[in-house]
């Protein structure tokens, strides 16, 4: 039965390049346009988020749709399924409630979501299933990274100062390669610290020599220099699984839980240990 005097908006989303290549957006749009035609509604605008995760609401097309909702451009929104709107149930409820307050209906494909207990139960179950799938993927990814780290593969593509990250290939996992230009500065920092005995003096000397940070800053922070002086990566070992998130903060795990991964050395063991003794003495 046609929906009388309705102006419709369409919202579609995919979260990866693979889905884009497989024309998932096009298939969503085709089905939604077909439903709009059957319902007899006029499509006034289509909102498309290509390559955006459903685990966040920070998406340009969805933000635009929410902004336009107050302008009276449309009074019904068609979406392929609840997980295209958001993968978290609480986010689904937040957006749906926001649209309802503006007098806008939401229709998931051939199912119009109303305030009836049955519809709300169905939406809740769909949202919980989407959350479960998301949690399962995250846990699978986490355990996969632990497994790869135990076999010596670097996890995370942001290397410490002094190294470049080389992406994994079919033949080999990702690894760190010494960046000779930065490595020379790392050696200089250790040498200056052992000579001058103070991080503040090291920073002044780096500034005097016009040596810039990786980001091109002229002034090195104490935190950055201290991190370099204490990083065991420079004596051949980096660690994975050092931290875990708790209450929104990163908590350092017990060192026996850390997974050591071998990397090329930049500093010899004796120089590194001398620096640690001086740091401890200065603290």
The catalytic residue positions are 15
3-state secondary structure of 250: strand
| Dist. CA 137–CA 152, nearest whole Å | 23
Cβ 242 vs Cβ 149: under 8 Å? no
Q: Kindly write down the DSSP assignment for every residue of 222-239, as one continuous string.
A: HHHHHHHHH-GGGGTEEE
Q: Where are the beta strands (DSSP E) in 15-162?
A: 42-50, 76-79, 105-108, 111-112
3-state secondary structure of 243: strand
Beta pairing partners, 48: 12
3-state secondary structure of 106: strand
| Dist. CA 100–CA 165, nearest whole Å | 48
Beta pairing partners, 111: 108
Q: Where are the beta strands (DSSP E) in 95-253?
A: 105-108, 111-112, 163-166, 175-178, 237-240, 243-246, 249-252
Assigned token pair, 225: 């220099």
Cβ neighbours of residue 72 closer than 8 Å, sequence gap 6 or more = none
């Amino acid at each position: 039965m046609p929906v009388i005097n309705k102006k419709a908006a369409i919202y579609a989303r995919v979260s990866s390049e693979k889905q884009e290549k497989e024309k998932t957006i096009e298939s969503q749009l085709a089905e939604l346009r077909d439903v709009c035609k059957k319902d007899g509604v006029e499509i006034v605008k289509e909102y498309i988020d290509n390559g955006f995760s459903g685990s966040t609401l920070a998406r340009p097309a969805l933000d635009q749709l929410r902004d336009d909702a107050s302008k009276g451009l449309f009074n019904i929104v068609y979406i392929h399924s609840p997980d295209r709107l958001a993968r978290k149930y609480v986010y689904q409820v937040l957006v749906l409630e926001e649209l309802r307050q503006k007098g806008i209906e939401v229709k998931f494909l051939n199912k119009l979501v109303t305030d009836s207990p049955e519809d709300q139960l169905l939406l809740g179950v769909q949202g919980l299933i989407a959350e479960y799938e998301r949690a399962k993927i995250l846990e699978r990814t986490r355990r996969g990274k632990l497994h790869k780290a135990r076999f010596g593969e670097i996890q995370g593509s942001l290397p410490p100062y002094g190294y470049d990250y080389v992406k994994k290939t079919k033949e080999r996992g990702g690894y760190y390669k010494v960046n000779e230009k930065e490595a020379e500065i790392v050696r200089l920092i250790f040498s200056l610290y052992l000579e001058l005995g103070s991080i503040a003096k090291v920073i002044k000397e780096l500034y005097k020599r016009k040596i810039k940070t990786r980001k091109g800053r002229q002034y090195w922070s104490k935190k950055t220099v201290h991190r370099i002086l204490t990083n065991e990566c420079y004596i051949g070992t980096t660690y994975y699984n050092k931290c875990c998130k708790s209450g929104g903060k990163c908590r350092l795990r017990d060192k026996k839980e850390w997974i050591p991964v071998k990397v090329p050395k930049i500093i010899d063991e004796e120089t590194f240990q001398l620096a640690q003794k001086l740091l401890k003495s200065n603290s």
